[in-house]
Amino acid sequence: MPHIIEQNPKILSGQPVIRNTRIPVARVLALIGMGYTLPKLKRELPDLNKLTKKDLADIFFHYSQLASK
């Protein structure tokens, strides 16, 4: 699992979230699927102000690997 994602049973019942936030990875992926760019994501969700393109690439790669299994 990439460093940017964390799972903790005490945070959102263990859903994968962006590290140090309560923002589910699924929400970020859904917004990107709706055409959000990184700057727009950061405006919409200010807690993601440190999110980078590399972080997004790591998330996409991780989930693409899970989907191919």
Asked whether residue 69 carries a pLDDT value surpassing 90, the answer given is no
Helices (H), the chain: 25-33, 38-44, 53-67
Residue 47 DSSP label: G
Residue range 5-67 forms a domain whose CATH class is mainly alpha
Tokens of 65: 């690997």
Q: What residues does each domain of the chain span?
A: 5-67
Asked whether residue 21 carries a pLDDT value surpassing 90, the answer given is yes
Q: How confident is the model at residue 35 (pLDDT cuts 50, 70, 90)?
A: very high
Segment 54-63, tens digit of pLDDT: 999 999 999 9
Which position has the higher pLDDT, 68 or 32? 32
Q: What percent of the chain has pLDDT over 90?
A: 90
